[in-house]
Amino acid sequence: MRNVITYLLMVRVDSASMSGLHLSRGWLSDACVLANQELVSGRSLVLCCATVIVLCATVIATMLTLHFTKDILPDSVNNDFQNINKFNEPQFMNLIEIIFQFLLEPKETERFMQQLSAFAGEHGMSPGPLKNLMKSVLMVPQGALKKSLTAQQVKEDLLTLGLNEDKAAHFSKQWGDHSAVLSRRAIGQTLMVNQLVDMEWKFGVTVGTSEIQKVGNISLQLKLVIRKGSSTENVYMELTLPQFYNFLHELERAKTSMDCFS
Amino acid sequence: MAAPFDEQFFVSLELLLKSPSKDALRELFSQSYRQVATEGGRLAQRTAEDLDIPFAQAQQLLQCLHSLAHHVVFRGLTRPQQIQDLFPASFHASLKNLITKILLELSPAWRSEAIQTHISLPQLKAFDWRVDMVTSSDSVSRMAVPSCLLSLQLGEDRVVVESSRETLDTMLDGLGRLRQQLALVAGK
């Protein structure tokens, strides 16, 4: 009987993720056949197995409660962090420096790859596995940035993932030091439509026109530079004085409204 | 713009003596100001009928009225004497005074219309704004960042522009300095 239950549980674990209790028809029919063979009720057997599955899932979920993600991570991530524990302190600090340099300038992927290759060369390891290792490590700061985690939470996550105390403390300290800059960068990346990039103005007096020889109007000319996709567009406009004062008044009201909400 | 007026010009103007009333004359000046004489086929036809003159003469008359009105607006003639000095001494005195009076009455409106419609960059006709609070994005799942949308109606086109708080502050800073400069100029 124990073998029956073990067999059913192994099939269940292999076939699907533990996070759902989806019991496939195939599994249910296997359970019924085996129940008949063992002369027990099929329903009892299924209920028993389902209970065990739920308990296992709860235990696993509790063990791997992470702040930076709610997803179940593959086993390779745990292995990667165990491998990182094998680096000595100078190596680890060097690696962390490379990682944070990349996080602060994420467009510099070429430089990041070159630095990792150089690091691998210096310490006699192959670059391929090192890069895979870094992929796992980068998940933590990238997730932490999304969730705006504190240094303490990052440290807890690293310890949960199997990194040793010293390394986790160093990493989380670096995180704490750089988090303000990284957050500002992330916020700055927020999508903006027709973003206003620059404004220039000049004001002058219209001296004469083809209709009137002597005129004396003051007019203000504005040029707004707007980012549209990857290029910029200039928008030119002219305002009379009353329009300018009205424009300024409305902008001040908009600013007051913005200040209220922060 | 203002060509010197020759004798033929004033001969044409004297045709106005045939006008039925002062109001009709005023109306004629008003309509001829806007229209270029060569286009005013219908107006010329009506004028020819009202004044009982040939079509060609009516067209020439309208051309003269148009030129005279534009000359008065261009030079900014605001005193009666300035306008009367344009006419030769032999010109019909009452007609001269009537024309002067009508031109002085209509030229301020023509002048402001010319100022309104002179060439310029697209005028800002209307302006609306909206302040949003960005609560989430693909790079940060929880945030509270205000953002401002400005809608500018420029002539026929409408442009919507988004700006962050810092950009809006910088813009206001610049425009505030402009206001100070304007106040200085006005004070002088």
pLDDT at A18: 43
Structure-block tokens of residue B112: 């402001």
User: What are the tens digits of pLDDT across the range A233-262?
Assistant: 999 999 988 999 999 999 999 999 999 876
Per CB-CB distance under 8 Å, the chain A contacts of B134 are 190
Cβ <8 Å between B178 and A220: yes
Cβ <8 Å between A213 and B74: yes
pLDDT at B40: 55
Per CB-CB distance under 8 Å, the chain A contacts of B75 are 213
Residues 178-237 of A with CB under 8 A from B: 183, 186-187, 189-197, 199, 201, 203, 206, 209-215, 217-221, 224, 226, 235-237
pLDDT at A52: 67
Q: Is B182 on the interface with A (CB under 8 A)?
A: yes
Cβ <8 Å between B74 and A187: no
pTM summary value: 0.67
User: What are the tens digits of pLDDT across the range B27-57?
Assistant: 888 888 877 645 557 888 888 888 888 888 8
Nearest residue of B to residue A197 by CA position? B167
- Report residue A10's pLDDT band, with 50, 70 and 90 as the boundaries: low
Cβ <8 Å between B123 and A238: yes
User: What are the tens digits of pLDDT across the range B129-184?
Assistant: 999 999 999 888 888 899 999 999 998 899 999 999 999 999 999 999 999 988 88
Residues 128-147 of A with CB under 8 A from B: 145-147
Asked if the model's pLDDT at residue A19 lies above 60, the reply is: no
How does the average pLDDT of chain A come out, rounded? 82
pLDDT at B73: 92
pLDDT at B115: 86
pLDDT at A20: 45
Spatial strand order of the sheet with A217-228 comes to A231-240, A217-228, A195-206, B157-164, B145-154, B124-134
- Report residue A4's pLDDT band, with 50, 70 and 90 as the boundaries: low
User: What are the tens digits of pLDDT across the range B84-104?
Assistant: 888 888 888 888 899 999 999
- Report residue B1's pLDDT band, with 50, 70 and 90 as the boundaries: very low
Q: A247-259 in b/e burial notation, b at 16+ Cβ within 10 A?
A: bbeebeebbeebe
**How far is the C-alpha of B138 from the C-alpha of B114, rounded, in Å?**
53
User: What are the tens digits of pLDDT across the range A22-51?
Assistant: 556 776 777 677 767 766 676 777 676 667
The SS3 of residue B142 is coil
Nearest to B12 by CA among B60, B77, B75, B68: B60
Q: What value of ipTM does the predicted structure carry?
A: 0.75
pLDDT at B3: 44
3-state SS track over chain A: CHHHHHHHHHHHHHHCCCCCCCCCHHHHHHHHHHHHHCCCCHHHHHHHHHHHHHHHHHHHHHHCCCCCCCCCCCHHHHHHHHHHHCCCHHHHHHHHHHHHHHHHCCCCHHHHHHHHHHHHHHCCCCHHHHHHHHHHHHHHHHHHHHHCCCHHHHHHHHHHCCCCHHHHHHHHHHHHHHHHHHHHHHHHCCCCCCEEEEEEEEEEEECCCCCCCCCCEEEEEEEEEEEECCEEEEEEEEEEHHHHHHHHHHHHHHHHHHHHCC
pLDDT at A21: 46
Per CB-CB distance under 8 Å, the chain A contacts of B147 are 192
User: What are the tens digits of pLDDT across the range A115-171?
Assistant: 888 888 888 888 888 888 888 888 888 889 888 888 899 999 888 888 889 888 999
The SS3 of residue B91 is coil
Per CB-CB distance under 8 Å, the chain A contacts of B164 are 192, 195
Cα→Cα distances A145→A37, A137, B30, B60, B141, Å: 55, 13, 71, 80, 9
Asked if the model's pLDDT at residue B185 lies above 50, the reply is: yes
Q: What are phi and psi of A225, to 5 degrees?
A: -100, 120
pLDDT at A60: 58
pLDDT at A223: 94
- Report residue A76's pLDDT band, with 50, 70 and 90 as the boundaries: confident
pLDDT at A6: 66
More confident residue, A4 or B119: B119
pLDDT at A54: 64
Q: Is B140 on the interface with A (CB under 8 A)?
A: yes
The CA-to-CA distance between both ends of chain A, in Å, stands at 64
CB-closest option in B74, B165, B171 to A251: B171
pLDDT at A200: 92
A227 neighbors A195 (Cβ within 8 angstroms)? yes
pLDDT at A245: 93
Chain B interface test: which of A145, A258, A260 (most B C-beta within 10 Å) = A258
The angle formed by the CA atoms of residues A136, A138 and A142, to the nearest 5 degrees, is: 130
Q: What are phi and psi of B130, to 5 degrees?
A: -145, 140
pLDDT at A231: 92
CB-closest option in B127, B154, B168 to A255: B168
More confident residue, B83 or B5: B83
Cβ <8 Å between B123 and A218: no
Nearest residue of B to residue A245 by CA position? B179
Nearest residue of A to residue B107 by CA position? A212
pLDDT at A23: 58
**How far is the C-alpha of A88 from the C-alpha of B54, rounded, in Å?**
109
Q: Is A253 on the interface with B (CB under 8 A)?
A: yes
Asked if the model's pLDDT at residue A90 lies above 70, the reply is: yes
Per CB-CB distance under 8 Å, the chain A contacts of B168 are 251, 254-255, 258
CB-closest option in A218, A238, A254 to B131: A254
If you search the block for the tokens 């286009």, which residue do you land on?
B39
